[in-house]
Structure 1
Amino acid sequence: MISTSLPASRFSVGLTGGIGSGKTTVADMFAARGAAVIDTDQIAHQLTAPGGAAIAEIRAQFGDAFLMENGAMDRAKIREYVFSEPAAKSRLEAILHPLIRIEVERAAQQAQGEYLIFVVPLLVESSSWKQRVSRVLVVDCLEETQVRRVMSRSGLPEAQVRAIMAAQASRQERLAAANDVIDNNGDALALAPQVDRLHAAYAALASASAAHREN
């Protein structure tokens, strides 16, 4: 799993949730309220885009068959492959995780928001992330809601969506690891008051942390 040496002096939140839970929507809402959001999934996409820093090694390890015509990593093909070949998953992680770590550290050092939010899909599965953030925030919804959302947005068959979910931490494991939870079973209107409440709490904690450092 990804490890990283984050700025220990800054208040930070690790935001996570299962596929289809609404992590990006929630992260965007926190960003609009003044948090500095660093999304590890977005960083991974940048690294595997055409000309990305991971592409040369992916070509060397997996071959041109796993690249698209524009030079980006073929995410659908590589996802299917690593699900069927555990060793391939380890090889891919060995390429991506060190690069993600570098970019996360760079972004954290440059971030200007009131506090840091790291969006980490596999935070609960990680051996290090939980110890490197001040609080863990889980975006939660029913598993059936996850399946419906992912099928709607991606067109993946239900069996494949459930296979992805089975490879992640369970809903119960995520909730057990959470300091804070946002319920995203409803519509976007139900999210705003939850985000407002937590943003106010996080801003206060960040301010207290900064004052403590100054003293």
Structure 2
Amino acid sequence: MSDFIVGLTGGVASGKSAVAQRFEARGVFVADADVAAREAVAVGSEGLAEVVAAFGAAVLAADGALDRAKMRRRIFDDDDARVQLEAIIHPRVRATLRAACDAAPGAYAIAAIPLLAEGGGRSAYPWLDRILVVDVPVAVQHARLLQRDGIDAALADRMIAAQATRRQRLAIGDDVIVNDGPLAALDGHVEALDRRYRTLP
């Protein structure tokens, strides 16, 4: 069981997944909030039933699953809807992540939480021992979103604006990886942090 848990966060298109993959390659257990969020509203789950009760059956796809594209458009256009959806999903995600990390083998575990700053930071996740922020300039996020998702500039702007600011994320971080260069540069950062985290517990 892991006695030391690191929260991994960063803005959209910052490279969180690339960092998480490098920790996993070093044998570190990573619990992914995005996976936990999908499980929280899986077909037949209490979470999905709550979403339908709050937003109506129109948010469902033909197969009875949550229509993620439709839900995404709705919450980007309506802050109240986003808060309502997060109130259903976030508590379930937190419980799943903590249970997975507590049970993980190794000296420490990582909880990858993209919306850590938005979801209450340390007050919502008091069981995190450290927080690692993957940071990039907003211009880099914007360019990566256009390339990665094939979206227009206006939607990229809205996606970035819907999240916490760089300053808000950096304010909760104990450690920072600046990921504005080639992906290969991440290897050295992760290696150094892995060595450090193994000594902290």
Asked if TM exceeds 0.5, the reply is yes
Determine whether 1:81 maps to 2:70. no
* Separation in 1, partners of 2:200, 2:9: 20
* Separation in 1, partners of 2:26, 2:163: 29
Residues 86-114 of structure 1: CA deviation (Å, up to 9, x unaligned): 32223212221232233223212321132
Q: Percent identity?
A: 43
Q: Call closer, same or farther: CA 1:130–1:156 in 2, change over 3 Å.
A: same
Give SS of 1:87's match. helix
Aligned runs of 1:181-196 on 2, under 5 Å? 181-196=176-191
RMSD of aligned residue pairs (Cα, Å):
2.1
Give SS of 1:27's match. helix
Aligned runs of 1:1-215 on 2, under 5 Å? 10-125=3-118, 126-127=120-121, 128-129=123-124, 131-206=126-201
* Separation in 2, partners of 1:171, 1:46: 28
Residues 175-202 of structure 1: CA deviation (Å, up to 9, x unaligned): 2332111121112211101100000000
Give SS of 1:132's match. coil
**Amino acid aligned to 2:106:** G
* Separation in 2, partners of 1:56, 1:196: 43
* Separation in 1, partners of 2:77, 2:87: 17
Give SS of 1:72's match. coil
1:203 Cα deviation (Å)?
0.7
Greater shift in the superposed pair: 186-195 or 160-169: 160-169
* Separation in 2, partners of 1:51, 1:151: 35
Structure 2's unaligned 5+ residue stretches are none
* Separation in 2, partners of 1:35, 1:140: 21
Give SS of 1:78's match. helix
Residues 110-159 of structure 1: CA deviation (Å, up to 9, x unaligned): 21132021111122231524643221111111212111222222222221
Aligned length: 199
Q: Call closer, same or farther: CA 1:13–1:105 in 2, change over 3 Å.
A: closer
Give SS of 2:200's match. helix
Per the normalisation by structure 1, the TM-score is 0.83
Per the normalisation by structure 2, the TM-score is 0.88
Q: Call closer, same or farther: CA 1:156–1:26 in 2, change over 3 Å.
A: same
